[in-house]
Structure 1
Amino acid sequence: MQYELLTLDADRALLLRVIETPSLERAQVLNTAMLADLSRLGFARLLVDCRELERSDFQASDVRGLLHHLDRSIARHAAAGQTPDRLRIALLSDADTFGHGIARMTVGHAYGLPHLQVHHATDRDAALNWLRQA
């Protein structure tokens, strides 16, 4: 899994390209590093590109656990004044692919988490437009 910075007009977002999922432990470390980068840069938007994802060892409970971990981390950082209190995440996939299924599952597991807004799109422009809304 890798990520890189992306500028969206006057807004900034972090782009995360997911090609292969790491181990659960490595994913938690990456979440922490990513949140630190978001906080340091003042970003509150994340575009997760799942178009190249072809397999994952994650179970649904793993995805839910990672989302809960991220939600709690955002709450802690926000309480300390280090980051906005909400992260908008747009998941991008091609229709009818493995990445599409993972993205849809992730949206479902993010439901009700107060510090995450998660959306799924199959069009990059639509995903970026959703991120810009707030």
Structure 2
Amino acid sequence: MKRSAPPLPTREDEALIQDYMLHAVLESVLKRDIRLLPTLELKLADLYALLLRHAGKDNADRLWAARQQMRRRGIRILGRSRTAAGFEIKYLCRGYECMLAFDSAAFIQDLASRIGAVSQNRL
């Protein structure tokens, strides 16, 4: 009996990896901002920290869901790096080694639109 090759990576796989990358970057940004808040002289620093922690919890839930979906689809991240143009992520998808590159400007715009959508749903 001849074995068939696993299915090739799809656009849905790439969209899932982009979603993972957005949430991973957002997680690091939120952690950094929460860490910096106490160093600033703000009247509502505690409230801002609380809002950022809630956003971080929502983001962590979404990141966890993306990781679970990646695991079900047979996707594993091999490495992430910053480049002059943006970000690169190397991954293994059902045995195929792949790479995605993200332009910084488009990536940040997508990140900002997602943050805006999440904050609108919260209010």
TMscore range, shorter length: under 0.3
Identify the structure with the greater helix proportion.
2
With normalisation by structure 1, the TM-score equals 0.25
Larger radius of gyration: 2
